[in-house]
Structure 1
Amino acid sequence: MRPPRLPSGLTPAWRTRRVRAGVAALLLAVCLTASLGRAVAQTTLDGADQAAGTAAPDAGGFDPALSASVIGAGLRFMLPRTLEPYTAAQLALWGLNGLTAIDPSLLVSQQGGALRLTQGRLTLFVGPAPAAGDIEGWARSASAMAARAYGGSPTVRAAGAQAMLQSFFDEMFNHMDPYSRYVPPEPADAERDRRTGGAASAGISLVDGDRYPTISDVNANGPAWAAGVSAGWSVIEVDGRSTRGQPAAVVEGWMRGTAGTPLSLTLRGARGRQAGRSEGRSETRSVSLQRASVPPETVFAFRNDNILILRITGFAGDTAQEVSEFLDEATHQGSAKLKGVIIDLRGNRGGVLQQAVTTVALLLDRGVAVITRGRDPEANHVWSVAGGDLTDGAPIAILVDGRTASAAEVMAAALADQRRAVVIGSATLGKGLVQTIGQMPDGGELFVTWSRMLAPQGWPLQGLGVLPEICTAGGADQIANQMAALGGGHDLLEDALVEWRRSRAPLPSSRVLDLRANCPAAIGTDADLEVARTLVGDPTRYHAALVPPQDPNAPPE
């Protein structure tokens, strides 16, 4: 990932790769009443499911046993976890409408105790409807109907067996929520790689060069960074194999492999290459390192007037660690006390909830970060932190916009409700549902919404999002009026913020729209950063913007 463009007047705050013992201990000491592991649940398949998952497809190209295995595993995984209670019959019948979505001439119906699949006047399937709670029966029936549709409809055969399975789950989830989904095997592999850091590599990104691929970026979490590799150098050889004329994507593939295996690179320094000089005069060096799984780099830091600006693009496996390193460097570099911290979450679509909670723990001595509630008891948690504020109480401003979502909203809401930070920008997206992941017998994954996220004061993030204390969506005049009011010790949005924090799920859509109208969602601008810089340097305005919660002693409903 390439670092974002530096705002005017900022300089990079490059991280120190050595983490102070106190910071490392803090990360281990974060106290959560919920498990810090990823919210990933996996179905445990019995012997019959595993055998079905390895059955060979029939001659027609459709494997009924595998289809029944996946549908059955999906139903078993979903039924105890969905936000609302359903029966196997409801879910299966919704899913079977996916056949009609592929071929509108197909119709699935349940008449009395019989299931039917018809194509015009032709009956393709008829059989007894299983009991409403019979998971295996509905899985077998759904697979049998899919097999008849595959055999009787050229349109379905042209779409393919995987498309039928995809359509089954798509139609099922259309009746539930916008975030639950089925991911087929190949993209599921890619998504698992993304969550875990992918195949082991050097942590280098390449672009095509004149003769050799050129390093465009070095991930600070990877072994190449630790070995001193820099962007701008050309990769001449990988394990003794010449890269001359090879596409960058091919050479990146050569560098991937098993974690812990050795990798040898020959590099040529771009700084030695000038117009008119031959490549032979450029500096060449060899680097030996070990491949490693490299989580995506999600945190970028800049310094300005002793203010630390952290741009967090997402919450991945090492996000909290990256934040801790930058905070450690900022608070132990030089004798001047840190003037303030600005955390830019604009465009941050979320990621791993645990990482957002752990990042909150780096900035808050103690308190509730987020509450999750669902039908499954394992989905119900109060995520409390007992870490330690690494900034020593420095003012914190958080930038958000209409694209800020999910785990990023959790962080903004937690620090605002705890009066630890001032939120600046516009209303956020309002993605406050948590998914748990089930591994399917075909290698795919099922993402099922199983809990709602509530801010520490009990208001729902889903639909509502986060309302900033300072709204910049209305332009310069609105900003000027708000800053003037803050100078007098009053936040113009205080009444709206109190109403926001009094809200409780479920909220009617009309009420959500009324509340969000106080600061409509918008794309962030440079004005957000300017307001934040002013705020962290002005104690009067900063403390006026820390609007007290509606009742600090009342537990969430």
Structure 2
Amino acid sequence: MMRKTDFAFWTFLLMTVLAGATTVLNVSRTYSATSPNTELYKQLDLFGDVLERVRSDYVEKPDDTKLIESAINGMLSALDPHSAYLSRKNFRDMQVQTRGEFGGLGIEVTMENQVVKVVAPIDDTPAAKAGVQANDLITHLDDEQIVGLSLEEAVEKMRGPVNTPIKLTVVRKGVDEPIEIKIVRDVIRINAVKPRIEGDIAYVKVTTFNEQTHVNLVKSIEEMKSKIGSKLKGYIIDLRNNPGGLLDQAIAVSDDFLERGAIVITKGRNNEETQRSQARPGDVADGMKIIVLINGGSASASEIVAGALQDHERATIIGTRSFGKGSVQTIIPLGANGAIRLTTARYYTPRNRSIQAKGIDPDIIIEQELPEDLKGKLGVKPRGEASLRGHLRNGDTEEEISGSSAYVPQEPEKDTQLQFALNYLRGKVTAPPPKAEQAEQKKAETQTDSSK
């Protein structure tokens, strides 16, 4: 059995490696009372004692790797909701997400009644070319049943090296027998930018900030600009329910619409860690009017873009208060041991506003009415950083405000925020008065009615 001193030494060595140290330190159980790290060493001994006791006395033989990973993750998650340990698999998954491309089939899937259901095949991908259809139910992969697997497990099986084959067995409505579809995996690119033309307005939905976002956004705007021509009245950048992503992509997207000035300021623990990102000349929208849509699901990188364009008065922000995640996470690789995601800075808008646990307030507040069948359900309740346990406090003020609803109707005609934005750009509506002014007006009307 490993001795307590061995555990203490090993634990401290592990912590030293995680901190990026380049020297190996010898640790003894005899501590100097004047050492500034005495208490830390004692706590590491405590960790070693507990770990030894768990390994020797727990009712079942524990997995040492899982014990250590859980301990590391517990340490990081205790800091704030966004710091975490990433296992090798989770690190790979995160890299796929941020790169925006992977080896796979090209289908969007969901889980319905414990069965993997195709939401839609992505255009010009192996799945679309092979004939996979929306609402197909996938029951087997390479003749192996996947009913009962989690969605993540099923997706992991469908992804794989480019040019490798896979066979899907699907059940399709209106077809009596299951259908076998053979597909060869290819490079699938996640297009985070979904443009469409709304008559005389160019609309762009940005779903995340991965490595492809800036390039695809510029390309989409140029194409729509060319198609609409001289009738173009402006742009709508829809960041609702966009959870964020890469900081450099948020900076690049903001820069796409700004000619000069600061975009975002990041401040670490020490003053010398403060960094300021500046815009370069060039506006892809040629100075035309821009509306940015946000809601309670707009977080992090989305808030950087909204805050930068708002502070420079380059865009009108419409919707409801954003999520309020004003912190920056750095991914620190640990070689074969995965990585850690560590909060290393807070970010501030160009006017030095911290939105941590506060969010971005729209210039024009437009609430989206919830359908009766969704009212009171957990998934559509207001969302915000301030509601997360252990969140970082706002360093500038004690005032913290919860987020807002993240509900967006699938049908554009039922989308109150989008319809207002379209009419606002066309000059058909004007901004409603602030809520406080509305309340005073309603109070005055009530007093007038009672006096009659």
TM-score range, shorter chain: 0.5 to 0.7
Unpaired stretches in structure 1, ≥5 consecutive residues? 1-56, 78-87, 89-113, 116-125, 477-504, 546-557
C-alpha offsets along residues 143-201 of structure 1, whole Å, 9 cap, x if unaligned?
64344333565379658653355245524653x43322233444344333433347522
Shift of the alpha carbon at 1:246?
A: 7.8
Query: What's the secondary structure of 1:302's corresponding residue?
Result: strand
Change (3 A) 1:151 1:522: closer
Aligned equivalent of 1:71: 15
Contact 2:99–2:212 (8 Å) recurs in 1: no
Change (3 A) 1:214 1:374: closer
1:531 to 416, 420, 436: 420
Q: Provide the C-alpha distance between the structure 1 equivalents of 2:127 and 2:425, rounded to a whole number of angstroms.
A: 33
Does residue 262 of the first structure (1) align with residue 163 of the second (2)? yes
C-alpha offsets along residues 258-316 of structure 1, whole Å, 9 cap, x if unaligned?
3xx53568999x9xx996x999xx9x9998x7733x45332222322222222222212
Contact 1:427–1:467 (8 Å) recurs in 2: yes
Query: What's the secondary structure of 1:262's corresponding residue?
Result: coil
Query: What's the secondary structure of 2:282's corresponding residue?
Result: coil
Aligned equivalent of 2:404: 521
Aligned equivalent of 2:294: 400
Alignment of 1:341-380 (within 5 A): 341-375=235-269, 379-380=273-274
Q: Provide the C-alpha distance between the structure 2 equivalents of 1:231 and 1:403, rounded to a whole number of angstroms.
A: 29
Alignment of 1:34-433 (within 5 A): 67-76=11-20, 128=31, 131-133=35-37, 141=45, 144-151=48-55, 153-154=57-58, 162-163=66-67, 165-167=69-71, 169-171=73-75, 174=78, 176-197=79-100, 199-205=102-108, 216-219=119-122, 224=126, 231=133, 256-258=159-161, 261-263=162-164, 291-292=186-187, 294-375=188-269, 379-386=273-280, 388-433=282-327
Shift of the alpha carbon at 1:374?
A: 1.0
Query: What's the secondary structure of 2:231's corresponding residue?
Result: coil
Higher relative contact order structure (alpha carbons within 8 Å, sequence separation ≥ 6): 1
Query: What's the secondary structure of 2:103's corresponding residue?
Result: coil
Shift of the alpha carbon at 1:434?
A: 0.5
Aligned equivalent of 1:106: none
Change (3 A) 1:68 1:451: same
- Whichever residue aligns with residue 437 of structure 1, its letter is I
Contact 1:70–1:440 (8 Å) recurs in 2: no
Query: What's the secondary structure of 1:128's corresponding residue?
Result: coil
- Whichever residue aligns with residue 103 of structure 2, its letter is A
Shift of the alpha carbon at 1:378?
A: 7.9
Shift of the alpha carbon at 1:379?
A: 4.5
Q: Provide the C-alpha distance between the structure 2 equivalents of 1:179 and 1:370, rounded to a whole number of angstroms.
A: 20
- Whichever residue aligns with residue 317 of structure 2, its letter is V
TM-score, reference length from structure 1: 0.56
- Whichever residue aligns with residue 84 of structure 2, its letter is R
- Whichever residue aligns with residue 187 of structure 1, its letter is N
Shift of the alpha carbon at 1:360?
A: 1.5
C-alpha offsets along residues 483-506 of structure 1, whole Å, 9 cap, x if unaligned?
xxxxxxxxxxxxxxxxxxxxxx73
Contact 1:313–1:348 (8 Å) recurs in 2: yes
Give the fraction of aligned pairs with identical amino acids, expressed as a percent: 21
Contact 1:70–1:441 (8 Å) recurs in 2: no
Shift of the alpha carbon at 1:337?
A: 3.3
Contact 1:150–1:156 (8 Å) recurs in 2: no
Change (3 A) 1:436 1:535: same
Shift of the alpha carbon at 1:76?
A: 4.0
Q: Provide the C-alpha distance between the structure 1 equivalents of 2:254 and 2:53, rounded to a whole number of angstroms.
A: 52
Change (3 A) 1:335 1:165: closer
Shift of the alpha carbon at 1:320?
A: 1.7
Shift of the alpha carbon at 1:368?
A: 1.9
C-alpha offsets along residues 398-417 of structure 1, whole Å, 9 cap, x if unaligned?
11112221111101001111
Unpaired stretches in structure 2, ≥5 consecutive residues? 371-393, 409-414, 435-452
Change (3 A) 1:524 1:339: farther
Aligned equivalent of 1:470: 364
Change (3 A) 1:232 1:403: closer
CA RMSD for the aligned pairs? Answer: 5.0
2:346 to 452, 462, 469: 452
Query: What's the secondary structure of 1:453's corresponding residue?
Result: strand
- The number of equivalent residue pairs is 391
Query: What's the secondary structure of 1:450's corresponding residue?
Result: strand
Change (3 A) 1:474 1:347: closer
Aligned equivalent of 1:7: none
Shift of the alpha carbon at 1:334?
A: 4.6
